[in-house]
Structure 1
Amino acid sequence: MRVRWDYTSPAIADVHRERVMPRSLFLLLLFLSSLCSTCLSIHAETAESHSTFTCEPVGLRMCQDLPYNATFMPNLLNHYDQQTAALSMEPFHPMVNLQCSEDLRMFLCALYAPVCMEYGRVSMPCRALCHRAKRDCHKLMEMFGVAWPDETECSRFPDCDESYPRAVDLQTSANPTDISPMSVQRDFGFWCPRKLKMEPDLGYSFLGVRECSPPCPNMYFQRPELTFARYFIGVVSIVCLSATLFSFLTFLIDVTRFRYPERPIIFYAACYMMVSLVFFLGFLLEDRVACNAASPTQYRAATITQGSHNKACTLLFMVLYFFTMAGSVWWVILTITWFLAAVPKWGSEAIEKKALLFHTCAWGLPGCLTVALLALNKIEGDGVSGVCFVGLYDVTALRWFLLAPLCLNVAVGVALLLTGIVALNRVRMEIPLEKENQDKLVKFMIRIGVFSVLYLVPLLTVISCYLYEHSYRSVWETTWVQERCRDYHIPCPFQVKQTSRPDLALFLIKYLMMLVVGIPSVFWVGSKKTCFEWASFLHRRRNKE
């Protein structure tokens, strides 16, 4: 049997008028109030939970038939749904049922289920309303053993004369005295807009909010800027693809020409050939893989693809991330082979015996990192380049899966490279060599130095861009929320101390250096001998035809 309590019942009013009440009657009222609170909780459970910063119908039974019928959550007391608010209001049910004050119900509802007014304004009960409710119900609360909670202390509310809750504008109020201490400390945080909400269990996350995805194609740049960036990346990817493909094909023409310690350069070129190919495919695909299409029927805008549910995006990510990391590892292996040739004086045959170990490290370590990212569901679409990568919106993934491996590879590679160059220079200075051999050693050292500089400068630039992005990502995101909060009808950031927008040039430099880092391989294979080999190869092909 479900018990319902009528707050305007004449019987309750008559009881309230009595000066003396039997104790049994108080116990009965307390029992009925408990049943009523259960009803309120059940009713609150059926209320639709909020998912965006929009008005929602008031589901609290105590707050029905008031001058307003819409509220928002979280409320002023950080209750994130109406069910939690209903449970916190339970101690006041006997006082409301007995109508100890005509202002109590209005005060409680204005606090626990504040009126949803125009955007950016928070409804707060007046201090006078609080004082009247507390004064009228003080004796009855003592009789029921209910204390006035600290969170409803009247001094926390603004001083106003209206009997209706006062609205304090948290976004435009310039005078601190116009805002109560409670409102000054209030921050709603980021709420996912309805247009960016995604289906559950897909692993989507945006600004720390689950089942939410960034807007597509990009949250920072306009369409004309993205069009320019897309063509820029496309042209650079074609140049890099041509250069690395030429290096790899030169190796295939004469496999025996490039032996250790030079052989890793070929695998290094092959890795960045695949990286360039993925960026070129991203240029051709535009937003079709990196973004989820808009759904007008579900009021959903185009969003960034996340996770592994999109097979094309997953494939692009696997190829791009795997070969990016593998190219970096092959450069480290190149410095190791140079070190073995310069310091302990290993020959080509001795170094080649370690080839299996080199291949295991070069392909195994990036493979493990790729599998780990797939397991963690850290794939993200890139609305600028059209590919899928990692660390584009997740700072943690950027820190541990991009910055950490790249910085480690640079540190190890530079240390081995410098050690090898110093050892070669010592050989040149201390051991007497013929002029011809002396010249060959000098040329070899120059080629190593130039190749290393041509590789390290782009890679260090990429790392610098990632570090800068890592440092300012939170500021950019806060600025974006502040600029778009009213368009998306979500809470604006509270007391923003710093605002900044990313520069498109930063992203263009990052993509440029990610691609041109593979071009130095042409410097190593480019020689007169290469020209003769290609001429001979083409001549043989024509003779066969």
Structure 2
Amino acid sequence: MDSSDSCQLSRCYKYTCEYVGTNYAMKSGVNFYLQVKSKCLPVLQRFNFEWPAALDCSRLPTPGGDGLCMEYPNITSPTSSIPPPREKPQQGGSHMMPTPPPRASQETKCPHRQTWVATKEGGVCTPKCGQDVLFRHADKHFAEVWLLVWAALCFLSTLFTVLTFWLEPSRFRYPERTIICLSLCYLLYCLAYLARLIVPAEVLSCETTPNGVSHLTVEGLHSSGCIITFILQYYFGMASGIWWVVLTFTWFLSAGKKWSSEALQAYASYFHAAAWGLPAICTILILTLKQVDGDELVGLCYVGNVNKWAHMGFVIAPLASLLVLGTFFIILGFIALFRIRKAIKTEADGTQVNTDSSSPRSSTTYHMASNINKLEKLMVRIGVFSVLYTVPAVCVIACNVYEYLNRQRWAIMASVAALECSAGVHRIKPQQYPSSFRSSASE
């Protein structure tokens, strides 16, 4: 920041004067503090920080005649100290192009354990690979083991489901067939986390600058490992959400509207087009906008690790919309099933009244009771399956919202902590559990 030099020098003015044991008033010192406050206060207010009480100008001593504690520096404004950019004439024209600032001057602005990376919007400070900036090494190890265990369990269960379908595909008809597509999405989704068993995080989420510094990927289009892990997570993660909506929609049509499997099968091409096409469009759009970044905690690439608006637009909003839409169809389906159950019970009770109590139950009454029992079992199975999907989905969205609200604050705290010798990641200590649980709940 332009006010960083003035802020550091103002601290020297304040505390050095106290150490030498003088109480001399400084007119130039008061003016200096006012100059520092005019530069630094707007920057602090951008991050919801107030001006430190210890540097309150009203508490400074009044001007005296015993001289200054320190020599007042000749500080000029940043705009006047920086020479205007040199311009070069373009060949074949009279337009002038400004010369970009040297890379070394940009790198010096980054905190410890971070490096400057040029982006389409100028540049950003990103963590170096192997360094603990936001998370400790123990946090990363815990997240790696936690995610590998859940990824292995998810992979085995979904593989069993897919193999069962391949052995006897005619057994699965709509709406049950959508569960196979849902399982296939999670099967491929888990491969991104299982890749960490054989490929280190430096290969999957890091890049190297021209001067040889390895850093977390920013706008990752150059690393094939980064792109592959991003596609496995994002594309199949979003496809699974759409297949969940298709499952609830077809179940509502089957249970509530009495659609047959053949009628649902006629619309299968539309279901596949929506479930596979919409995530593909979003994935291509993210790659085109260069919004793929490395994640320090899990060692994989995803969208929204740097740009919070990309996180909201491509992750949180779609996941929340799909969850709300699927839950809506579930509620409609249950309402329809309860109405059917009530109608069957009413008809069964009327049949029972017309039948002599001393005679055995008629076949019609027995058949109605059997239908009610089957309907109740179906409602229980659908209810359990809905809970098993909805609860983790809500947790995933909650964890994403938590990161959306706090990631920028974590980055600011990491930059501030890097200025102090004794500070570091232990001073920041963001919770790694929401990030780890978000990934594991997605599996």
TM-score (norm 2): 0.70
> C-alpha separation between the residues in 2 aligned to 1:315 and 1:122?
53
Equivalent residues in 2 for 1:71-110, closer than 5 Å: 74=2
User: Deviation at 1:247?
Assistant: 0.8
* 1:461 and 2:395 matched: yes
CA shift, 1:232, in A, is: 1.6
* Contact kept? 2:188, 2:236, Cα under 8 Å: yes
Cross-structure match for 1:254: 168
1:75-117: per-residue Cα shift (whole Å, max 9, x none)? 69xxxxxxxxxxxxxxxxxxxxxxxxxxxxxxxxxxxxx8998
> Aligned pair in 2 of structure 1 residues 443, 116: CA closer, same or farther (>3 Å)?
closer
Partners of 1:294 and 1:119 in 2: CA distance: 38
Shift of residue 382, structure 1, vs aligned partner:
2.0
Give 1:416-435 correspondences, 5 Å limit: 416-431=329-344, 432=347, 434-435=368-369
After TM superposition, give the deviation of residue 351 of structure 1 in Å: 0.6
Q: Give the match's secondary structure for 2:227.
A: helix
Q: 1:413 to 1:293 in 2, by over 3 A?
A: closer
Tell me if structure 1 keeps the 8 A contact 2:114–2:126. yes
Query: 1:280 is matched by which residue type in structure 2?
Result: L
1:415 equivalenced with 2:328 (yes/no): yes
What's the offset of the Cα at 1:480?
1.5
Percent same amino acid at aligned positions? 31
Q: How does 1:374-453 map to 2 (within 5 A)?
A: 374-431=287-344, 432=347, 434-453=368-387
Q: State whether residues 317 and 389 of structure 1, in contact with CA within 8 Å, keep that contact through their aligned partners in structure 2.
A: yes
Residue by residue over 1:240-284, the C-alpha shift from the partner in whole angstroms, topping out at 9 and shown as x without a partner, is 100111111111111011100111111000001111111111343
Is this contact kept in 2: 1:290–1:382, CA < 8 A?
no
Aligned to 2:416: 482
Partners of 1:283 and 1:386 in 2: CA distance: 12
Determine whether 1:470 maps to 2:383: no
SS in 2 for 1:334: helix
Indicate if the aligned counterparts of 1:380 and 1:392 stay in contact, CA closer than 8 A.
yes
Contact preservation (8 Å) 2:158, 2:184: yes
Residue in structure 2 matching 1:192, options 99, 110, 119: 110
Amino acid aligned to 1:356? S
Q: Which of the numbers 242, 245, 263 marks the counterpart of 2:156? A: 242
Q: What aligned pairs does 1:237-316 form with structure 2 within 5 A after superposition?
A: 237-292=151-206, 298=211, 300=213, 302-316=215-229
Match of residue 137 from structure 2: 223
Gaps of 5+ in 1: 1-52, 54-73, 77-113, 130-153, 160-169, 181-185, 493-498, 516-545
Residue 354 of structure 1: aligned partner = 267
Which one has a bigger Cα radius of gyration?
1
Q: Is 2:430 aligned against 1:502?
A: yes
Q: How do 1:311-326 residues align onto structure 2 when only pairs under 5 Å count?
A: 311-326=224-239
* Structure 1 pair 446–310 and aligned structure 2 pair: CA distance change class (3 A): same
1:329 corresponding residue in structure 2: 242
Look up the SS of the partner of 1:367 in the other structure: helix
Distance 1:294 1:368 in 2: 29
Aligned position for 1:176: 56
- Residues in 1 aligned to 2:335 and 2:394: alpha-carbon distance in whole angstroms: 22
Aligned counterpart, 2:81: none
The answer as to whether partners of 2:147 and 2:193 remain within 8 angstroms in 1 is yes
- CA separation in 1, counterparts of 2:300 and 2:202? 10
Once the two structures are TM-superposed, the CA of residue 453 in structure 1 deviates from its matched residue by 0.3
Pick one of 334, 337, 345 that aligns with 2:258: 345
* 500-509 or 368-377: bigger deviation: 500-509
Alignment of 1:36-185 (within 5 A): 74=2, 156-157=31-32, 174-177=54-57
Instruction: Tell me if the contact between 1:332 and 1:409 (Cα under 8 Å) persists in the aligned partners.
Output: yes
**Structure 1 pair 441–128 and aligned structure 2 pair: CA distance change class (3 A):** closer
Residue 466 (structure 1) shift: 1.0
Letter of the structure 2 residue corresponding to residue 174 of structure 1: A
| CA positional deviation for 1:463 | 0.6
Question: How far apart are the structure 1 equivalents of 2:225 and 2:27?
Answer: 62
Q: From the superposition, tell whether residues 293 and 378 of structure 1 become closer, same or farther in structure 2 (CA, over 3 Å).
A: closer
Q: Distance in 1 between matches of 2:54 and 2:294?
A: 41
The answer on whether the counterparts of 1:293 and 1:301 sit within 8 Å (CA) in structure 2 is yes
Q: CA deviation at 1:199?
A: 5.2
What's the CA shift string for 1:40-83, capped at 9, x where partnerless? Answer: xxxxxxxxxxxxx7xxxxxxxxxxxxxxxxxxxx369xxxxxxx
Instruction: Tell me how far apart the structure 1 counterparts of residues 33 and 324 of structure 2 sit (CA, whole Å).
Output: 59
The C-alpha deviation readout for 1:5-50, integer Å capped at 9, x for no partner, is: xxxxxxxxxxxxxxxxxxxxxxxxxxxxxxxxxxxxxxxxxxxxxx
Deviation at 1:197, TM superposition (A): 3.7
Q: Which runs of 5+ in 2 are unaligned?
A: 15-24, 35-49, 62-76, 79-107, 348-366
CA gap of 1:355–1:115, structure 2 versus 1, over 3 A, is closer
Rounded to whole Å, the distance in 1 between the matches of 2:235 and 2:10 is 46
SS of alignment partner, residue 221 of structure 1: coil
- The 8 Å contact of residues 307 and 378 in structure 1, kept in 2 or not, is answered as yes
Matches of 1:179 and 1:415, distance apart in 2: 63
Matched ranges for 1:489-528 at <5 A:
501-515=429-443
Q: Deviations over 1:401-424 (max 9, x none)?
A: 111001100111111111011101
Distance 1:438 1:228, change over 3 A: same
Q: Is the 8 A contact 2:208 2:215 kept in 1?
A: yes
- Aligned 8 A contact 1:120 1:171 in 2: no
In the alignment, is the contact (CA less than 8 A) between 1:195 and 1:300 conserved in 2? no
CA contact (8 A) 1:194 1:299 kept: no
Q: What is the rounded CA distance, in whole Å, between the counterparts of 1:318 and 1:305 in structure 2?
A: 16
CA distance in 2, matches of 1:128, 1:479: 34
424-433 or 253-262, larger mean C-alpha shift: 424-433
CA shift, 1:305, in A, is 4.8
- Does the residue aligned with 2:126 lie in a helix, a strand or coil? coil
Q: Which moves more between the two structures, 274-283 or 451-460?
A: 274-283
Aligned residues of 1:285 and 1:386 also touching (Cα < 8 A): no
Specify the SS of the correspondent of 2:191.
Answer: helix
Corresponding residue SS for 2:247: helix
Query: Do the aligned residues in 2 keep the contact of 1:119 with 1:486 (CA within 8 Å)?
Result: no
Q: 1:393 to 1:219 in 2, by over 3 A?
A: farther
- Which amino acid is the alignment partner of residue 448 of structure 1? I
